[in-house]
């Protein structure tokens, strides 16, 4: 077995055996069960796919295609002369098939910022990247330029450098449907004079042409289906003073916002905020008629108590915007009213204005109450954004996910879903983490530890309603690039429709913060049972080239 050398000081070195991938015990048992005389034929593999992987539509031809796909792995002793796989080849088949896996759109907040909310540059590049990831709602803050004769995009009253609106619009047109055909909503935070509003109307009309959805004179009586609006651009607005009002709300110091705690990452409970809301005001009246006619989704802030804002008008659809802390407070006593509102109307949640480092909040609170637009700082990497990536892997990654039926309609006795009420367990997800590999291919030898191979441990858990939310951890395996944990966890689920499976790997560090080793997140509703190779992603959500876990998913 080859060895790996680490330098301790000028004159001393430590040598470690370099581990190799080896089939876990359970893989060996399955191979014995579905093979004969050490050979797994296409017929055997087909039986394994049907019975263990629950791939009920698989055919013998599919199994043969998997066997044939190993032709390039010449270092394996694939028993082709006998028409099948040996144990090592079967193990490689298991770990080389990356696959674990109406509608609410992915949404970006201040989509044009390259970094923090105060001093970063504004650019169309983050917009392009967001659209390429499948984001379906783009937010633009539009202001007069320095000479008051054109329109810029910037985060107002900050040091952010502006970018021309027309540049952003042209990039949206080019990349809007690069990842999905479903409609893109452009939310405009308007700080313009009537003459510049008219100029924006001309820009929108000339840039998007027939792609631009025009609502007509009447308000929507119900929200249209995204299916009917494929490859269309929809314009929405919100009150220009929204952020200023949010900043007037006295709140706790955000100095702990950047801390990566389990409570913030997993949202174990809805926090009880102590401070009162400031009074809301009506949205600005548009003076330019050619601008107003382009607005498909009108947004305004309500007067008086926020509970009154949740009143449902049977004759028209409207959009309400709440800050993250407003939603958290309102959800404590009026959660079912929020659910009722979102059955017919659109609810948008946005990060509080004091998040200057572009961090994010727990999105599950909005999703479990039916909010259609939960806005994220796409440049703010961390666990909250990983949850968003996981949620919108559903539905083919098209950027829209259908809400569960209990959030769309009331029950037979007009009862409404309440996320705080603990319901009976519907199903239990059993997760087995066998092993991981690939870090030694994607990272330098000393990336995790300068003096020895890494000490990896895995964390796995559920993000969902409070009753289902939990996090568990494997043992730490020392000095091993290919950790074999072979541990099993069970997760009882009361609302599996809203549950996300979270997976993380970290490297234990006794003296400093543990190092990050990868993460993935998937909707429980779209998990495929059986033994699966799960690719891990970096902090930004980009998939590593080689790093993956071998896992098993079972519903019992």
Catalytic residue among 44, 46, 155, 506: 155
Contact between 109 and 350 (Cβ < 8 Å): yes
Helices 165-175 and 125-132: crossing angle, nearest 10°?
A: 20
Q: Radius of gyration over alpha carbons of the chain, in Å? A: 26
What are the DSSP E strand ranges found in 225-357?
A: 233-238, 295-297, 319-323, 346-350
The conformation of residue 359, written as its DSSP 8-state character, comes to -
Record the tokens describing residue 528, joined without a space: 């495929």
How far does Cα 140 stand from its chain's mean position? 21
Contact between 551 and 441 (Cβ < 8 Å): no
**Closest C-alpha among 444, 391, 417, 481 to residue 106:** 391
Contact between 352 and 275 (Cβ < 8 Å): no
Q: Match 């000028």 to its residue by tokens.
A: 10
412 CB-near residues (< 8 Å, 6+ apart): none
Instruction: Please provide the size of the chain in residues.
Output: 556
Residue 228 Cα distances to 183, 237, 420, 519, angstroms = 9, 21, 34, 35
Contact between 162 and 153 (Cβ < 8 Å): yes
The conformation of residue 95, written as its DSSP 8-state character, comes to H
155 is a catalytic site residue: yes
476 CB-near residues (< 8 Å, 6+ apart): 455, 456, 457, 508
537 is a catalytic site residue: no
Q: Match 């796909």 to its residue by tokens.
A: 69
For the chain, first and last CA: distance in Å? Answer: 41
The conformation of residue 278, written as its DSSP 8-state character, comes to P
161 CB-near residues (< 8 Å, 6+ apart): 121, 122, 154
With left for phi above 0 and alpha for psi between -120 and 50, is residue 230 left, alpha or beta? beta
Catalytic residue among 44, 46, 75, 109: 109
Residue 384 Cα distances to 2, 98, 372, 378, angstroms = 41, 24, 17, 10
Strands 151-153 and 233-238: unpaired
**Closest C-alpha among 147, 136, 140, 195 to residue 169:** 140
Strands 233-238 and 184-190: parallel
Contact between 50 and 56 (Cβ < 8 Å): yes
354 CB-near residues (< 8 Å, 6+ apart): 247, 251, 254
Active site residues: 109, 155
């Amino acid at each position: 077995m080859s060895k790996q050398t680490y330098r301790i000081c000028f004159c001393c070195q430590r040598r470690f055996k370099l581990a190799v991938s080896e089939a876990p015990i359970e893989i060996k048992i399955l191979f014995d069960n579905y093979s004969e005389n050490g050979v797994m034929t296409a017929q055997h593999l087909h039986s394994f796919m049907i019975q263990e992987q629950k791939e009920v539509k698989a055919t013998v031809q599919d199994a043969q295609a998997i066997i044939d796909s190993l032709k390039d792995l010449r270092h394996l002793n694939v028993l082709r002369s006998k028409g099948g796989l040996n144990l090592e080849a079967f193990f490689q088949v298991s770990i080389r098939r990356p696959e674990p896996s109406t509608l609410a759109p992915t949404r970006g907040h201040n989509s044009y910022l390259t970094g923090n909310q105060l001093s970063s540059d504004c650019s169309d590049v983050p917009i392009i990247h967001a659209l390429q990831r499948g984001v379906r709602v783009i937010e633009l803050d539009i202001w007069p330029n320095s000479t008051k004769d054109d329109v810029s995009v910037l985060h107002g009253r900050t040091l952010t450098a502006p970018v021309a609106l027309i540049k952003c619009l042209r990039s949206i047109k080019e990349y809007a449907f690069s990842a999905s055909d479903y409609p893109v909503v452009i939310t405009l935070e308007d700080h313009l004079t009537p003459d510049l509003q008219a100029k924006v109307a001309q820009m929108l009309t000339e840039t998007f042409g027939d792609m631009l959805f025009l609502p007509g004179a009447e308000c929507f009586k119900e929200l249209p289906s995204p299916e009917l609006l494929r490859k269309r651009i929809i314009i929405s607005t919100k009150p220009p003073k929204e952020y200023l009002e949010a900043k007037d709300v006295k709140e706790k110091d955000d100095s702990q916002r950047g801390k990566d705690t389990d409570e913030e990452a997993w949202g174990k409970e809805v926090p009880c905020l102590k401070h009162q809301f400031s009074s809301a005001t009506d949205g600005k009246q548009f003076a330019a008629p050619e601008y107003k006619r382009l607005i498909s989704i009108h947004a305004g802030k309500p007067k008086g108590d926020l509970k009154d804002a949740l009143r449902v008008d049977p004759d028209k659809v409207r959009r309400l915007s709440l800050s993250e802390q407003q939603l958290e407070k309102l959800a404590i006593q009026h959660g079912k009213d929020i659910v009722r509102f979102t059955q017919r109307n659109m609810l948008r949640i946005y990060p509080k204005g004091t998040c200057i480092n572009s961090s994010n909040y727990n999105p599950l609170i909005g999703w479990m109450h039916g909010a259609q637009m939960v806005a994220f700082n796409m440049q703010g990497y961390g666990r909250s954004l990983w949850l968003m990536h996981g949620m919108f892997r559903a539905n083919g990654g098209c950027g829209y996910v259908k809400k569960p039926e209990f959030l769309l309609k009331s029950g037979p006795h007009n009862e409404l879903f309440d996320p705080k009420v603990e319901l009976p367990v519907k199903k239990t997800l059993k997760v087995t983490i066998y092993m991981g590999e690939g870090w030694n291919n994607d990272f330098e030898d000393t990336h995790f530890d300068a003096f020895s191979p890494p000490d990896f441990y895995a964390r796995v858990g559920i993000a969902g309603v409070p009753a289902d939310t939990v996090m568990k951890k494997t043992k730490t395996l020392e000095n091993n690039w290919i950790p074999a944990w072979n541990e099993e966890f069970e997760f009882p689920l009361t609302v599996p429709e809203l549950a996300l499976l979270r997976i993380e790997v970290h490297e234990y560090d006794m003296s400093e913060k543990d190092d990050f080793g990868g993460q993935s997140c998937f909707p429980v509703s779209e998990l495929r049972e059986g033994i699966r190779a799960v690719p891990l992603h970096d902090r930004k959500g980009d998939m590593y080239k080689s790093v993956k876990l071998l896992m098993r998913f079972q519903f019992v």
